[in-house]
Amino acid sequence: TSLQQHGRAVIELEAAALQALLPRINDDFARACRLMLACAGRVVVVGMGKSGHIGGKIAATLASTGTPAFFVHPGEASHGDLGMITPPDVVIAISNSGETAEILTILPIIKRMGVKLISLTGNPASSLARLADVNLDVSVAKEACPLNLAPTSSTTVTLAMGDALAVALLKSRGFTPDDFADRKIPDSVRPWRDRLFGLTINPERLQQIRAERRPNSKYASLENCRYEVRECEALFDREGIPVLD
């Protein structure tokens, strides 16, 4: 039927768009991964409209696979939420046109803080792409929408790029199925949830302590200590647990 034909046409167009994405998993992709692996803060994803919806999913996928991340609406950022972004963070900005006004408005502040910026755009010559430390090309030849207006192929490709980043980081960090269980309050203490307090430590001090126990090990590396402290602080934040440093 015509309905089935229309449906198949969408799948074929989006499959072709994903296939065209493969050559763009290149040196820029690796640079973006390295920026996030070296991040001492969190990955902050921003995007408007449909790009914002995709950004929210990318942030959630990163957070559940070992990379602390959250989404910030760029419109709200210019009205106070920009304080959620700090110098040690990495920002992923998503805009198909690369000219989204709400994102461009907050870029000067992000750049002044020294925050590293990764852009996902459909226009490598755009303002956003040029201002980014790394731009990942998520352009498509055509949207699956017959009017070429509704974001369809472009959002699928952007989501796939986000998944590729998250899984590459997961593999690099050696994230295991056990780590998924470790990212929530243990069942044995959950009944006392309202009485819990979190304890955290400066990563540099933790590295010194561990270096005395197991020198020159991954366990004692500063990168690993920073990662574990971030993960604990993210857990405390998600669960609303008061923290003592």
Instruction: Look at 8-17, 154-163, 228-237 and tell me which has the smallest mean pLDDT.
Output: 228-237
Q: Rounded to an integer, what distance in angstroms lies between the CA atom of residue 148 and that of residue 27?
A: 30
Question: How does strand 43-47 pair with strand 69-72?
Answer: parallel
Q: Which of 150, 240, 173, 202 is nearest to 37 (CA)?
A: 173
For the residues 9-35, what does the mean pLDDT come to?
97
Q: Rounded to an integer, what distance in angstroms lies between the CA atom of residue 148 and that of residue 190?
A: 50
Over 60: is that where the pLDDT of 36 sits? yes
pTM: 0.75
Q: What is the pLDDT of residue 82?
A: 83
Q: What percent of the chain has pLDDT over 90?
A: 60
How far is Cα of residue 182 from the mean position of the Cα atoms in its chain?
Answer: 20
Over 90: is that where the pLDDT of 238 sits? no
Q: What is the pLDDT of residue 30?
A: 97
Q: Which of 202, 210, 206, 205 is nearest to 244 (CA)?
A: 202
Structure confidence by residue, pLDDT tens digits, 131-157: 999 999 999 999 999 998 999 999 999
Give the side-chain half-sphere CA count within 13 A for 158. 32
Q: Rounded to an integer, what distance in angstroms lies between the CA atom of residue 165 and that of residue 46?
A: 16
Residue 210 or 24, more confident: 24
Please answer whether residues 133 and 116 qualify as being in contact, where contact means their C-beta atoms are separated by less than 8 angstroms. Answer: yes
Over 70: is that where the pLDDT of 180 sits? no
Structure confidence by residue, pLDDT tens digits, 90-131: 999 999 999 999 999 999 999 999 999 999 999 999 999 999
Over 60: is that where the pLDDT of 233 sits? yes
How many helices (H) and strands (E) in the chain?
A: 10, 7
Q: What is the pLDDT of residue 229?
A: 85
Please answer whether residues 161 and 135 qualify as being in contact, where contact means their C-beta atoms are separated by less than 8 angstroms. Answer: no
Instruction: Look at 53-67, 69-83, 195-209 and tell me which has the smallest mean pLDDT.
Output: 69-83
Q: Which of 24, 33, 11, 53 is nearest to 122 (CA)?
A: 24
Measure the CA angle with vertex 20, ends 16 and 22; round to 5°.
125
Average predicted confidence (pLDDT) for the chain = 90
Phi, psi of 143 (to 5 degrees): -75, 150
Q: Which two tokens stand for residue 92?
A: 């992923």
Q: What is the pLDDT of residue 135?
A: 98
Residue 116 or 244, more confident: 116
Structure confidence by residue, pLDDT tens digits, 51-75: 999 999 999 899 888 888 989 999 8
